[in-house]
Amino acid sequence: MKGSTTNEGRTGEPLAKSVVAEQRLASVVAVPLSDKFSRGERECLDRLRELRRYPQNEQTEITLMSGESVRIGDRFRKTGVNFHFGRFLFSFVRQLRPETSLELGTGLGSSGMFHLAAMEMNGVGHMTTIEAHEATAQFARRMLESISPIRFFLTVGFSQDLLSEVLTELKKIDYAFIDGHHREESTKAYFHQILPFMSTNSLMVFDDIDWSDGMVSAWSHISGHSEVAAAADLGRMGVCLIRPD
């Protein structure tokens, strides 16, 4: 699989285990990569595409922590997860069927909409999502509630302040999407803090791994970790398979 890595040669585990893990992750990634969605999934994605037209064109302004005022539509289009990569998130959740999910960096809800839509189709799952900015979180909550008002809990605050308590409450995590601070040390710290709580056959997805040299370095560190059985570099996003059985 292009851009994939395994831990063979680092952990001393048998080659066969690494091959199986890589094949398993490759099969997960192949669905959105090859557009192998069912009719029902395509209909759901079509509805998501229509729902996203509203935030993409929203003219209301919000003031960021920096003091800059921006239009929600501009912010959604420029910084949110686009439809192409959203399909990957939707597919990962559909295939994994996680009971407990964690998202760092709610933003305006662009990624969470795909996660929740997949959970609704699965009929199972709940997502805890953390957003630092109050005004952004308020808009995101409206977007997420339009998908499912019962399958998420949005908490406002800095991830570095809230994560320890959130992890203690969740106990185990089947799927994690990390889109918080786009800094090398912060991203690595989130990975190491969340990793002990990841369940067997879980996925960790990192957004913006190509954002900067620091993020490229963080992804290299994460994808090479001994507990990452296989990893796939999708360009913008990186996907890790954790503890396959």
Looking at the predicted structure, is the pLDDT value of residue 195 above 80?
yes
pLDDT at 201: 93
H/E element, 185: helix 184-194
Mean predicted confidence (pLDDT) in 5-24:
58
Distance CA 25, CA 241 (A): 7
The tokens for 120 are 């609704």
pLDDT at 230: 94
Q: What is the mean pLDDT of the chain?
A: 90
The tokens for 193 are 């803090």
pLDDT at 11: 41
Distance CA 56, CA 4 (A): 33
Mean predicted confidence (pLDDT) in 9-15:
40
Looking at the predicted structure, is the pLDDT value of residue 23 above 80?
yes
Looking at the predicted structure, is the pLDDT value of residue 245 above 90?
no
**β-pair partners for 157:** none
Looking at the predicted structure, is the pLDDT value of residue 152 above 90?
yes
What pTM did the predictor assign?
0.91
Indicate the SS3 state at residue 109: coil
pLDDT digits (tens, 9 = 90+) for 107-142: 999 999 999 999 999 999 999 999 999 999 999 999
Q: What is the DSSP string of 129-151?
A: EEES-HHHHHHHHHHHHTT-SSS
The tokens for 19 are 């091959």
- Using CB atoms within 10 Å of the CB of residue 95, give its burial: 0 to 12 exposed, 13 to 18 middle, 19+ buried: middle
pLDDT digits (tens, 9 = 90+) for 44-101: 999 999 999 998 998 999 888 788 898 999 999 888 899 999 999 999 999 999 999 9
pLDDT at 12: 40
Distance CA 180, CA 159 (A): 8
Residue 58, phi then psi, degrees to nearest 5? -65, 125
Please give the domain boundaries of the chain with CATH numbers for all domains: 4-242 (3.40.50.150)
Distance CA 172, CA 191 (A): 14
pLDDT at 64: 82
